[in-house]
Amino acid sequence: MNGLTAYRDLKIDAELLEIRANDLEAEYKTLYECCFMPGRKPMMQVDKALDRLDEIKAQHLLLQHLCTLKRDALRQMEAVMQQSVNIRIAHLRDIEGRSLSEIAETLGLSLSATKQRSAKIPRVAEEVNG
């Protein structure tokens, strides 16, 4: 599995977990309203409703934790991918001496994006000498 496939799969996992977490929130709210709203006759036994609410709450907390972990991993992967592009730009610009338009074409970036990134990346010679 290459890095981009891993990133895509992790992003899909995070999105699916968030959808499920939202679904559990809606289930919790609906069950609570059906069983515990004043003036309404409970639609199920109170002890069963309380047990199910506890189950939903536990599942929801677990999913929230997993979502947080996956979102953190996505941010770390994005940082690595961003750094990788910046390293490639610096290498092509400072080591190979390519123009920004050549770099943009090589990396599949727009010229304006390449210029913006390049402006933020220190020159290799500056790092070595500076």
**What average pLDDT score do residues 7-30 get?**
94
Res 43 pLDDT > 80: no
Q: In this predicted structure, what is the pLDDT of residue 80?
A: 86
Res 70 pLDDT > 90: yes
Question: Residue 54 corresponds to which tokens in the numbers above?
Answer: 């506890």
In Å, what is the CA distance from 89 to each residue of 62, 99, 102, 106, 120? 41, 10, 10, 10, 11
Contacts of 61 (CB under 8 A, 6+ apart): none
Residue 12: name the closest of 70, 77, 91 by CA.
70
Domains held by the chain: number? 1
Residue 4: pLDDT band (50, 70, 90) is low
Q: In this predicted structure, what is the pLDDT of residue 129?
A: 43
CA 64, distance to chain mean position in Å, is 13
Q: In this predicted structure, what is the pLDDT of residue 37?
A: 79
- pLDDT tens, residue by residue, 86-129: 888 988 998 889 999 999 999 999 999 999 999 999 887 644 44
DSSP 26: H
The 10 Å Cβ neighbour count of residue 92 is: 20
CA distance 86 to 44: 59
Its domain, for residue 64, covers 3-129
**What average pLDDT score do residues 39-59 get?**
88
